[in-house]
Structure 1
């Protein structure tokens, strides 16, 4: 049988459909571990696999979606991880025959990675790597990483599978109605990250029906030539006339979207929740003898954060790499890094982005500190306050790898040289972690005196990178700036070297600008003149201080003159906004002198490092309740508004919530002394019986606590009777129920029915990935919340209305 990667160039392959809903049809009990059925009910699994093979599937998936160590531990089955995964592959293989590929399904851990949660990158990496190795050894043909909601967890899984196995890999994220993941990643950013990590196929599955997934695949197809995969749900779950949870879209209706997927450039078509063998059969008939649409990707250098991609190109404006997160010659920043305090890092990150930085260089090179830990803390801080990509600036291998594990997105490594030790250390890490790399044109003999010499080193770096499988667009070159005061005759060699790199290699170029004026008076004049010369020669991304107005002005004017600023838009905007910005800065400065306004902004910015000291200052003039009502609550409400409008995502939401928690911890004892404790109401939260997923519920808990609610959290997989009994005993105002699986949704109805009978005064609010507003209405619940921000609004409304 030909390799799957080869076949994808010539034909569209059909994956199978749903596993979970097919198991439910055959009597899977709520609360059972679906993967344990590989051991207890092998005939059922083979029957499902066989139905998809008969329907025409070219690829069938193993029943291993939740068979990682962390998920199995929820059912006390971690000790059976090998048996469950091995048996899953065996059952699929026995049915597949010689012409059907066995795809091993790997799903998420059910936990959020740091800094959003408690799971470290290394822990996730080991969990995914362990499962992947078992699946490969058992005979799987490829791995399908699917239903990932967080880019960082997806990175950990993809890196682990690529490192620990030799199998082709599909990587699928799941998207929400706004065409972003739960943590804010859009399809084009995902493409940037996964391509650099070497994914063989990239796609989207679950969460949405085919109509929305057509939009996502179209977006992906515009940014990549990598094969694409789509696995839509059969619509969103609803209740039928028998009060059973179903996915409403019929097979024929689903299949009608297949021509649109084909036109968008898809290479693999399958199905997710609710899809059936009938749909797969229709899909197979529609793709027979059809060649995948041709897609050509531009060869662009692209970096990414969790939520934003930045393209570096000769046809686009010059990108600024902000240099100010660097302790060299900066005593205060050095002290803070040594003390693991990130106040100045956060401030510099925010200020540089506001000034126009496109990428932030992060250097923590303070002697005699734990630089790996400092890099981790600094990068997490940068992630929390800004949304642009990062350049990891270090020559230390341990620090570099710590940074590469922490970073969310596709970073730039600053840097690698032409020295053998550097090439052998840095390039393998860049390949493994999907980073772009900045090559410095120096080697064991130092910096070549001529432009030709520097070109030679650049060619060596590029050649070695490509030998490892790093694409040429992921290699940038720094031709090195030498001080004009010491080596005036070498200044033009740097400029000539940029021109040669462009002419002969076509690579993006980076340059540290300010070293040119070292030891000279009036340094700014020298720096701006040199920057203009470098941009004219082809410089793409200078490393500079973006808050320096002269440098900004020179850069904008240079881009205009070399035709890299379309119709002078950036130049005109820069100057038309200056007066307005001065006025805003003046007003902002006046506003933030008030302690309550400062606290409001600290919550808005998620600055938990400074919230306590500012509260202590505010308490000299204000009571605790006043601080809460006039600063903290308005701040978190504004965060919610920004989340609703799509300018904030889950990371910012969580950081602001954690900042609020720090504030409340400080203020709670004072409120007790003032006898001024006030709550909107008492809320009981629980994930219903049979559902071991509680990420969403935990986020709602944090948001409700920080908006003035008293919370009783019963956890996950909670029995119906316990929820009902506790709600009545504790005299709660509202019960919040969460479910992530369609199999557990009926428990919501049972709880709602009994509570409405026994305690009609208690309001019931539903949420969870598979729950809908219609479902909540149909079963008699009082409300539905799509996310944590809406949960706060709805809970407030329900409780206030019931008390009035």
Structure 2
């Protein structure tokens, strides 16, 4: 039986940890475990055999870090390592009916816009791995331990586009219920299911007890088989070694709870052994796969925000050049910050989804769509609607988008449906269907309904569920086609009631050519909502339009207890006037939007230089730093700690400050003034550890608080840290480690510093570190994240 067929009705048992097993077999500090596929084949074979003998139905190749960046100086190619690992696994299983999974872990670098690794480069790295895996003869691909949804998407695309193998994908969540980059279980589930994963779930980071709430959330967001590979409890560090705190029996108890929730693919991660897997086979033998209820809902998402299409959701219309002179000029001049301000302004006004249309004959729409989507997703977490008639621009937008977007749009023409629907299916998006065809927009509700029905049925043929189809019955201008206004409303009601899909309208089209347009718009919006409109595309900066929605939500029993309405209107009378957007007025941006602190908080990089140049005419360099830039970063840090923003936005704001600092440093140089550096700090990933994501994030944040960073890199010899610290008279050193095997190196580095007379302070951080362990190895401070490192620096450099 094929694997895809097997997992439909059966429980599948994976193996357990490879890394911690190899440590017991002699893997030394800093050694690359993937090289054991060449140098210690028998050791790898032995681990596989033990798991098979204890009931594992899937063994995972020793290739977690077998990518070209991590193997760069190893002397071996990706192909050699993967081929050898697969052959070892084949030898271990012999005649056993055991599946072999190609293990694909994170690349180890931050992707744009958080880091410097491009989508295209990451794709090529994963492509190389999966092609070799299939060539060597694996049965499936396991993409695991992902913390960035974007990286998981790229890996999944590489696997789906270059192999014919089943693909399972798991991500790692922390105690907050989010990944390191802020991704939620729901966004993961919706996005990866849409992209065609065969099973999804969670692994590593936590023990099984702590993963149960996350499993329950995933279960409510997907119909795919769910996979879990927890750690053997929460690790406690003892003399550089991770000690896991639960027994195989306890582990099995909690995994059995997963199975009761509908989890059907089970295994272990860090700290688990063949004994743990033996316990899981007992669970498999005692249980049948639970038949879960089908999950049905309409949604769009970014990694950190899922928007369910329930009740009324406003789609902001302002990122669109039609009839907007200033917007057209911004596109022609590549003025991305102008576009970003439109996005921010709409979200602050209440838009829950943003329409993105950048189509102009004078520009490369495909490249501009890619750029605008990346930039918007770098500063806000609101889902987007990709709006274009250019199929290349649509595909570029879909490919680069992080999460699940909407495509606007298709219509009733067969040619259009056949071009766009396969893209919608491939990238797991929702799609807007316009009720028009080659004959144009039908005048009657019946004919528009027929086109809507055709679109829904055609989408189903391509495997697109009706929950992912939103029908636009099309608004015609009342000034020219007055009789057809009622036909739009009739079609809207029929589509909602008879086809059971969500509906969408570009509301403001109704009033073209009429005076006092806002009055017509508001009245029509109220009528459309009463007839089943879910997604009005409109200007959220219109007070009157938002007032209609807020009052409708009370009357339709959506705003239960009128709580939102009372909070918004309880202490004031409703002003019946349209808040006209700046672009309509053809006026410059509001002064408060030009404020440098605002620019930093919102992450408007291009605006930062201009604003800094302007403000330096009235303030000194140090005043700008201490009174504007640092307070702005503090505000961003506070939002990050409260969970109001996440890592992408934190880094974007830090990079925005960098633009301002560049201007300040240049002026100081011209004026021959003193350097504004607040002090030198050494940062290093300790000897034996090749991971530097965390260190690089800390570097970005500290630099933009005004500290001079001496970055020693990764896998740094102890003597190098000591030598530079003493030579440069450093007051503060930051040491990072991501692997439990390199914590001993961190301890030895601190000891060497003190033994050689270093009188400064040392702070430590990393995913495997705890405050208790930091104290045990005599570090002066423990930084749980980048923001904490700033607070430490402030104490040292008062």
The two structures have a TM-score, normalised by structure 1, of: 0.93
* Deviation, structure 1 residue 756: 1.3
* Deviation, structure 1 residue 112: 1.6
* Deviation, structure 1 residue 126: 2.5
Matches within 5 A, 1:756-767: 756-767=754-765
CA contact (8 A) 1:270 1:280 kept: yes
CA contact (8 A) 1:237 1:771 kept: no
Indicate yes or no: 2:42 matched with 1:48. no
- 2:737 is matched with 739
Cα deviation 1:90-114 (Å, max 9, x = unaligned) = 2222223443221211111112221
SS at 1:223 equivalent: coil
* Deviation, structure 1 residue 454: 1.9
- 1:230 is matched with 228
1:601 to 598, 602, 605: 598
1:338 to 329, 332, 338: 332
SS at 1:770 equivalent: coil
- 1:589 is matched with none
Report the count of equivalent residues: 785
* Deviation, structure 1 residue 258: 2.0
CA separation of 1:734/1:236 partners in 2, compared to 1, >3 Å: closer, same or farther?
A: farther
- 2: CA distance between counterparts of 1:453 and 1:248? 66
Matches within 5 A, 1:690-709: 690-709=688-707
CA contact (8 A) 2:240 2:740 kept: no
2:175 to 174, 177, 189: 177
CA contact (8 A) 1:62 1:104 kept: yes
- 1:268 is matched with 265
CA contact (8 A) 1:12 1:287 kept: yes
Matches within 5 A, 1:375-774: 375-576=369-570, 598-672=595-669, 673=671, 675-774=673-772
Cα deviation 1:515-534 (Å, max 9, x = unaligned) = 12222233222222222222
1:166 to 141, 164, 167: 164
Q: Unpaired segments of 5 or more residues in structure 2?
A: 580-588
- 2: CA distance between counterparts of 1:186 and 1:208? 15
Matches within 5 A, 1:40-119: 40-73=39-72, 75-77=74-76, 80-96=77-93, 97-119=95-117
- 2: CA distance between counterparts of 1:759 and 1:186? 46
- 2: CA distance between counterparts of 1:74 and 1:570? 59
- 1:312 is matched with 309
SS at 1:122 equivalent: helix
CA contact (8 A) 2:200 2:227 kept: yes
* Deviation, structure 1 residue 278: 1.2
- 2: CA distance between counterparts of 1:258 and 1:379? 40
SS at 1:102 equivalent: strand
**Range 229-238 or range 155-164, more displaced:** 229-238
Matches within 5 A, 1:350-361: 350-361=344-355
* Deviation, structure 1 residue 701: 0.5
CA contact (8 A) 1:223 1:297 kept: no
CA separation of 1:244/1:184 partners in 2, compared to 1, >3 Å: closer, same or farther?
A: closer
- 1:371 is matched with 365
CA contact (8 A) 1:149 1:181 kept: yes
**Range 557-566 or range 453-462, more displaced:** 557-566
SS at 2:486 equivalent: helix
SS at 1:73 equivalent: coil
- 1:11 is matched with 10
CA contact (8 A) 2:380 2:649 kept: no
CA separation of 1:763/1:375 partners in 2, compared to 1, >3 Å: closer, same or farther?
A: same
CA RMSD of aligned residues (A): 2.3
- 1: CA distance between counterparts of 2:252 and 2:98? 21
CA contact (8 A) 1:340 1:377 kept: no
* Deviation, structure 1 residue 799: 5.2
CA contact (8 A) 2:240 2:742 kept: no
CA contact (8 A) 1:345 1:381 kept: no
SS at 2:793 equivalent: helix
**Range 291-300 or range 36-45, more displaced:** 291-300
CA separation of 1:568/1:415 partners in 2, compared to 1, >3 Å: closer, same or farther?
A: same
Q: Unpaired segments of 5 or more residues in structure 1?
A: 586-591
CA contact (8 A) 1:734 1:762 kept: yes
- 1: CA distance between counterparts of 2:128 and 2:338? 39
**Range 259-268 or range 43-52, more displaced:** 259-268
- 1:288 is matched with 285
SS at 1:418 equivalent: coil
- 1:251 is matched with 248
CA separation of 1:128/1:469 partners in 2, compared to 1, >3 Å: closer, same or farther?
A: farther
- 2: CA distance between counterparts of 1:239 and 1:343? 46
- 1:195 is matched with 193
CA separation of 1:789/1:41 partners in 2, compared to 1, >3 Å: closer, same or farther?
A: same
Cα deviation 1:186-223 (Å, max 9, x = unaligned) = 11121121121122211111122222212211221222
- 2: CA distance between counterparts of 1:532 and 1:634? 44
CA separation of 1:345/1:175 partners in 2, compared to 1, >3 Å: closer, same or farther?
A: same
CA contact (8 A) 1:234 1:250 kept: yes
CA separation of 1:476/1:615 partners in 2, compared to 1, >3 Å: closer, same or farther?
A: same
CA separation of 1:662/1:280 partners in 2, compared to 1, >3 Å: closer, same or farther?
A: same
1:154 to 137, 152, 155: 152
* Deviation, structure 1 residue 411: 0.4
Cα deviation 1:626-654 (Å, max 9, x = unaligned) = 11111111111111111111111111111
* Deviation, structure 1 residue 245: 4.1
CA contact (8 A) 2:594 2:611 kept: no
* Deviation, structure 1 residue 239: 3.6
Cα deviation 1:470-503 (Å, max 9, x = unaligned) = 2221111111112222222322222121122123
CA contact (8 A) 2:433 2:452 kept: yes
- 2:299 is matched with 302
- 1: CA distance between counterparts of 2:132 and 2:184? 32
SS at 1:640 equivalent: helix
CA contact (8 A) 1:11 1:291 kept: yes
- 1: CA distance between counterparts of 2:294 and 2:73? 43
- 1: CA distance between counterparts of 2:488 and 2:414? 23
SS at 2:220 equivalent: helix
- 2: CA distance between counterparts of 1:62 and 1:625? 55
* Deviation, structure 1 residue 117: 1.6
CA separation of 1:578/1:335 partners in 2, compared to 1, >3 Å: closer, same or farther?
A: farther
Cα deviation 1:643-702 (Å, max 9, x = unaligned) = 111111111111110011111111113345363435443211111222221111101001
- 2: CA distance between counterparts of 1:537 and 1:74? 65
- 2: CA distance between counterparts of 1:331 and 1:593? 18
The two structures have a TM-score, normalised by structure 2, of: 0.94
**Range 746-755 or range 522-531, more displaced:** 522-531
* Deviation, structure 1 residue 184: 0.8
CA contact (8 A) 2:337 2:605 kept: no
* Deviation, structure 1 residue 596: 12
CA contact (8 A) 1:703 1:788 kept: yes
CA separation of 1:614/1:729 partners in 2, compared to 1, >3 Å: closer, same or farther?
A: same
SS at 2:205 equivalent: coil
